[in-house]
Chains A and B, each alone.
Chain A
């Protein structure tokens, strides 16, 4: 629920389609009494903006709500890692201590001479500041961060590194753990679904029989017995064959990476009765002729209590 989010704070939220399927996720910030800023998946901004306009124009035309897509106005730079705070303190101008700017809050200010809005939000589970600045000054802020961060070994990181970091934390990614057929409940995200709201898009759909079927495949972590990396998209086979003579299946890999932190392959997947089968080993035949044996484990491989992002 975002109506009770206090001004200055942030909250993670899910967005579902009318049919209950998970279509996007992101962090929402309460800017003032009447204004919320909704982060979407990067490539999803146009689609989600259109989705909001569609509902506001066609169904809820009497609501007094306007939306504006401000994605292109802002350059947003994530400064992440145990030394992130030191880099920001070196630029100076804002109190970025845990007390002044705790996890899941935001603040406006001037950092290193540039007007910014800083969000204490994290995609990777580390101490993280996402700094939003007018796009025309994105390069200037980037250059200042590189310079101030040099003594701490700062380096740019791309989306592949981000994918690995979030997978170590068991954070889902729209487009990996979701494919248009997945509902939040499949991903054990019941905690993010409001029980207080009288209604929301997808609520009725999620109560339908096929959506509450305990046989829906659900999210688990997968750990190969030999430490190898599971092939992406591989299916877990079950006993017997189907009508086409193919092996029956009981799950599939949704994300799979080599984790440099843990020095082994880690993966997430959707598995039949998965969360009830912790410790069980299942087979994933690869297209390379090898049968990968993987143990069903908790999807959070690293920093289970989330202490690293809350410092």
Chain B
């Protein structure tokens, strides 16, 4: 696995905020009945977390889980463990209707960091989401559009946001974020 490349190859940009390749992150799509006890136990075993409520997510380090739809979760696991984790989930869920797929390499993963207001502003320029701290606190994920492509976004904490999109549009998303984070383009809409 030592030769695995992330979609953005370690790209970095320093503008209104820092935009950076967040690197290799294990991600697993799990679909099934989210109310099923067997599934809930399997999610707990894989991530240490309970099945999140609608739109909720948690990511601690490189481990966590996000709600994607009424029958789909995104599990975060260390990159090197993703294939093994898929195998364990399949074993744990045998006989329960489900699908589990490793999607770690299907994604580009981007970190935005800086002043909280500016991180929110940079995203607000290109996503149709109310980035007000009251409306978009940490622990909530939005599956939305980032300029012209599908993306998922969340606030990882104060002054830090994460963006996930498909690998093939990773460079596009990164470049768009750098463009709207160009020095001198601050609007100052959100308090920092």
Contacts and interface: CB of A to CB of B under 8 A. Distances in A.
Contacts of B148: none
A137 interface: yes
Contact of B105 (A64, A68, A134): A134
Contacts of A140: 3-5
A73 B98 CA distance: 19
A37 B39 CA distance: 23
A30 to B, nearest CB: 15
A135 interface: yes
Contacts of B167: 72, 135
Given A136-B5, A136-B24, A139-B5, A66 B71 contact: yes
A20 B72 CA distance: 32
B101 A73 contact: yes
Candidate in B3, B7, B32, B168 with the most chain A CB atoms within 10 angstroms: B3
Contacts of A139: 3, 5
Interface in B44-67: none
A70 interface: yes
A73 B31 contact: no
Interface in A251-291: none
B104 interface: yes
Contacts, number: 58
Interface string B89-117: 00000000111011111110000000000
Nearest to B102: A73
A4 to B, nearest CB: 22
B4 A136 contact: yes
Given A73-B101, A134-B4, A136-B24, A68 B107 contact: no
B4 A137 contact: yes
Interface in B151-192: 166-168
Given A68-B31, A68-B99, A73 B5 contact: no
B38 interface: no
B3 A135 contact: no
Nearest to B99: A66
Contacts of B29: 68
Contacts of B7: 135-136
Given A68-B31, A140-B3, A73 B97 contact: no
B6 interface: yes
Contacts of B4: 134, 136-137, 140
Contact of A136 (B6, B166, B168): B6
Contacts of B99: 66-68
B68 to A, nearest CB: 11
Contacts of B32: 66
Given A135-B167, A137-B3, A66 B105 contact: no
A88 B166 CA distance: 30
B97 A135 contact: no
A50 to B, nearest CB: 12
Contact of B106 (A66, A70, A115, A137): A70
Contacts of A74: 105
Interface in A133-184: 134-137, 139-140
B128 to A, nearest CB: 20
Contacts of B98: 66
B146 to A, nearest CB: 16
Given A66-B71, A134-B4, A136-B5, A72 B101 contact: no
Candidate in B5, B6, B7, B98 with the most chain A CB atoms within 10 angstroms: B5
A135 to B, nearest CB: 4
Interface in B74-89: 83
A136 B105 contact: yes
A135 B102 CA distance: 11
A199 to B, nearest CB: 23
Interface string B1-42: 101111100000000000000001000010110000000000
Given A72-B166, A72-B168, A136-B4, A66 B103 contact: no
10 contacts: A66-B32, A66-B99, A70-B101, A70-B103, A72-B168, A74-B105, A115-B83, A136-B4, A136-B5, A140-B4
Given A66-B31, A74-B105, A135-B167, 5 more contacts: A67-B99, A70-B103, A73-B101, A73-B102, A137-B1
Q: Which 4 A-B pairs have the closest CB atoms?
A: A72-B106, A136-B4, A66-B99, A135-B105
